[in-house]
Structure 1
Amino acid sequence: MPAAPPEHLTLTLPDGRQQGVLRFGNPGHRAVLYSHGFGTSGLAIPPDTALLQRLGLQILAPDRPGVGASDVDPGLSFQSVAADAMFAVDALGVQGPVAVLGWSVGGVHAMALAARYPVRVGTLHLLGTCLPMGEEHSFEQLSAIWKTLWWTCTQMPGITEALCRWLSRRWHRAPDDTIDWFIRLMWQAEQDVSEQPENRALLRDGAVRGFAHQGWGVFHDLQLWCRPPDFDLSLIQAPATLWHGLADGVWAPDNIPYLASRLPGGSTRLLPGEGHMLHLRHWEEILTAIRRELPD
């Protein structure tokens, strides 16, 4: 796979916080704004610069607060994270509508961004997305396991704080052992993708960057995910495509049609045999679909 490391940028936000942004591809090309998953970062996406050049795309991957080069923000909200991301788009001189791409929990942040900035978002693509757990109607769709996680995070935050801090230490002290440990815990569809050497390296490096700042960023991100969202799905105007693996062992596909029905213009791409890391196998297909939906 033709690849080049991303450009590492650091921006100063209006309140003085530092925000890290990874940029893949030519700064003059149409922009895709990528929202990373929980406990990971923009380093977990394929750095296929030849594909980006052929499609005329660049990818901007901001670090959420407490991830990578971004300062921790204990008071973060979905609205504030969206505002940080759009600040990066404007500060880097991106013109016109952008595509928004979100993986896993990043899909919830992508929806929040599309709801807050409907004029700036031309198309929305959600990869293995989760539901906003703190929203009453979405909560009713959750499995017993995810409802238990929500209860633990909201009622016993000390446990999740300790877990996030422990994982941060482990990722930074023994990244190779830690990614191998996680792969052993995965379902078969996720293992099949993650065991490939190039994908293993992406997932490892993405998690090391994700668990920066002693794990405080992922802790606050998890707490936010469990709170009632400060955005309205009905405000999203961009067409939304939900890519989801039918063998996803992290977030089962059962409630993806429900979520698509909540999004104006929502449609599903349910992929047989694919797991939570479906983007690592379908990256070219996903970006090609995005490019078709962005105006020239």
Structure 2
Amino acid sequence: MADSAAKRPPTPAPASGGGGMAWKLSLALFVFLAALLYKQLQPPAPKIAGSPGAPPVTASRTKLKDGRHLAYLESGVPKEEAKYKIIFVHGFDSCRYDVLQVSPELAQELGIYLLSFDRPGYGESDPDPAASEKSIALDIEELADNLQLGSKFHLIGFSMGGEIMWSCLKYIPHRLSGVAILGPVGNYWWSGLPSNVSWDAWYQQLPRDQWAVWVSHHLPWLTYWWNTQKLFPASSVIAYNPALLSEEDAKLMEKFGMRTYMTMIRQQGEYYCLHRDMMVGFGKWGWSPLNLKDPFAGGEGKVHLWHGAEDRIVPVILSRYISEGLPWVVYHELPKSGHLFPVVQEMADAIVKSLLLGEQ
């Protein structure tokens, strides 16, 4: 009996077994929560226009060198007859249909061909997984070449599209005949901006927008979750918060906010248009518009910067400071206007006349 008992394997201590089980349960719970969090942080795959189960392609499109497609819209006179060729770059949460409403009479009188396009991820243009402040300028250059617009063309950009004009002035100045920048979004972290200017502009935003912009700059990987979670308010711009509208904007929103094609704008997924826009526009640029040189030093063109003094969406203070720092920029401040001033056709005609004819 003694020998038999001695040969039996030792019995594990009860405390050791309980502790091991608790550790395994804790690890399993941690892995589960981490996986759940990771899933919430990841945007769903894009619904690329024309792919199975995705929205159909209805627009004219051109294929870029990397295989992506850009959807575009042509208006004005035929490009073969045009004296002036203008590419319009739309703003945040917009598309090719939100082109500057130049009157048909002015287009005919001056011979204006107007080209607008869905920026990557918007409407029917493929998303760009490598989007940057440089890539969009190169996309515009390639679009112009694919549609045979010639060696030079004019550019007009509004809001987030206005911010893109600075990129075009840096990366493709040799292709430009003139540029109009309308109510441009500004990056609060651009080098050369004094802290008092950037902070004054920063605090003109609603607190919820301060947070949304801060996340897109410092924690871009969190941008999708931040703007889709329901725990606290996210971007008021995405939500069309009426608190952002000036008196003039509130009247214009009746027209701008009732666009029949609204669902088409975000149809490929909000992350691939709205959120990527924020990540690039408010991201970490390696340069600043304040460091740009005059691309038209020879007098062959002009850069016009327009901003409404009552703009509650994009603070005017950044445009004021940049125009003061770049004496070659012709600055137009509209004292009673908000952000949506280009929507007014009379204003659109004035912008185009100023750009093409030098009228003030």
TM > 0.5 between the two? yes
* Structure 1, unaligned runs of 5 or more: 1-6, 167-178
Q: Secondary structure at 2:88's aligned position in 1? A: strand
Match of 1:106 among 161, 175, 179: 161
Q: Name the amino acid aligned to 1:228.
A: K
Change (3 A) 1:34 1:231: farther
Is the Cα contact below 8 Å between 1:9 and 1:23 reproduced in 2?
A: no
Q: Name the amino acid aligned to 1:242.
A: L
Is the Cα contact below 8 Å between 2:224 and 2:275 reproduced in 1?
A: yes
Match of 1:93 among 148, 151, 163: 148
Show CA shifts across 1:75-94 (max 9, x none).
11111111111111111111
Q: CA deviation at 1:237?
A: 0.8
Distance 1:218 1:78 in 2: 15
* Pairwise CA RMSD: 2.8
Distance 1:31 1:139 in 2: 37
Is the Cα contact below 8 Å between 1:99 and 1:121 reproduced in 2?
A: yes
Q: Name the amino acid aligned to 2:281.
A: W
2:131 paired with 1:131: no
Is the Cα contact below 8 Å between 1:8 and 1:23 reproduced in 2?
A: no
Change (3 A) 1:164 1:10: farther
Pairing 1:252-263 to 2, within 5 Å after superposition: 252-263=315-326
Distance 1:119 1:99 in 2: 11
Change (3 A) 1:272 1:97: same
Is the Cα contact below 8 Å between 2:59 and 2:71 reproduced in 1?
A: yes
Question: 1:44 matched to which residue of 2?
Answer: 98
Match of 2:334 among 271, 279, 282: 271
Distance 2:288 2:311 in 1: 26
Question: 1:218 matched to which residue of 2?
Answer: 274
Question: 2:309 matched to which residue of 1?
Answer: 246
Change (3 A) 1:241 1:69: same
Distance 2:136 2:354 in 1: 26
Q: Secondary structure at 2:338's aligned position in 1? A: coil
Is the Cα contact below 8 Å between 1:57 and 1:291 reproduced in 2?
A: no
TM normalised by structure 1 equals: 0.81
Question: 1:290 matched to which residue of 2?
Answer: 355
2:67 paired with 1:16: yes
Change (3 A) 1:129 1:154: closer
Q: Name the amino acid aligned to 2:246.
A: W
Pairing 1:79-90 to 2, within 5 Å after superposition: 79-90=134-145
Distance 1:251 1:217 in 2: 19
Is the Cα contact below 8 Å between 2:102 and 2:348 reproduced in 1?
A: no
Query: Which has more helix, going by share of residues?
Result: 1
Q: Secondary structure at 1:136's aligned position in 2? A: coil
Is the Cα contact below 8 Å between 2:134 and 2:167 reproduced in 1?
A: yes
Q: Secondary structure at 2:148's aligned position in 1? A: coil
Q: CA deviation at 1:37?
A: 0.7
Show CA shifts across 1:135-157 (max 9, x none).
23348423233654331223454
Q: Secondary structure at 1:60's aligned position in 2? A: strand
Is the Cα contact below 8 Å between 2:217 and 2:284 reproduced in 1?
A: no
* Structure 2, unaligned runs of 5 or more: 1-57, 230-236, 297-301
Q: Name the amino acid aligned to 1:42.
A: R
Pairing 1:106-255 to 2, within 5 Å after superposition: 106-138=161-193, 140=195, 141=198, 142-144=201-203, 145=205, 147-157=210-220, 160-162=223-225, 182=240, 184-185=242-243, 186-196=245-255, 199-202=256-259, 205=261, 207-215=262-270, 216-230=272-286, 233=289, 234-238=292-296, 239-255=302-318
Q: CA deviation at 1:183?
A: 7.2
Equivalenced residue count is 271
Show CA shifts across 1:45-91 (max 9, x none).
32643432222111111222101111111211111111111111111
Q: Secondary structure at 2:305's aligned position in 1? A: strand
**Radius of gyration: which is bigger?**
2
